[in-house]
Amino acid sequence: MLKDSTNSKYKVGQVWSYKTRPQESDSTFTVVKVESLPKLGNIIHVSISGLRVKNSREPKGYVDFIAHMPFAEEAIDKSVVKLLKENVVVGDYYKEGYEDWKHEFNAGEAGIFTVSVADGADVMEKILNQ
């Protein structure tokens, strides 16, 4: 059973720079939720801004923001560069995506990203353009 975790260096409201894709050098992610599961350890839920993820269904041809992506803490560790801000107020913009993920996760139909944040953006780009 997923439960909120406080035993991570990643805290809700932190904004981090990370090793981005070349076209998104100013992209950052915000920690929106931290949970744990005995088998998986800490799960760091993030929203990512400053993207240029191709999406043919969008009028401008891309999205610049992903509201929710769940990562293994180790994947975040390999991605982060610098803590930029703390205690940023996190609204509820991520909750719909989180609830959809949680429902699918509990049904065994979704997982967490174990790749870098940049590689996760690549995966999302492929999914959005199928």
Closest by Cα among 41, 29, 32 to 3: 41
pLDDT score of 56: 84
pLDDT beyond 90 at 120? yes
pLDDT score of 111: 95
pLDDT score of 113: 97
Please name the residues in contact with 52: beta carbons below 8 A apart, sequence gap of 6 or more. 23, 24, 62, 64
Number of domains comprising the chain: 1
Element (H, E) at 105: helix 95-106
* Ramachandran region, residue 60 (left: φ > 0; alpha: ψ -120 to 50; beta: rest): alpha
* Burial of 59 (C-beta count, 10 Å sphere; 0-12/13-18/19+): exposed
Percent of the chain with pLDDT over 90: 88
Paired sense of beta strands 3-4 and 80-85, if any: unpaired
Query: Which residues constitute the domain of residue 70?
Result: 3-128
Q: For residues 108 and 5, what is the distance between their CA atoms, to the nearest angstrom?
A: 21
- Under DSSP, the state recorded for 117 is H
pLDDT score of 17: 98
Dump pLDDT digits (tens) for 83-105. Answer: 999 999 999 999 999 999 999 99
Closest by Cα among 81, 95, 64, 65 to 14: 81
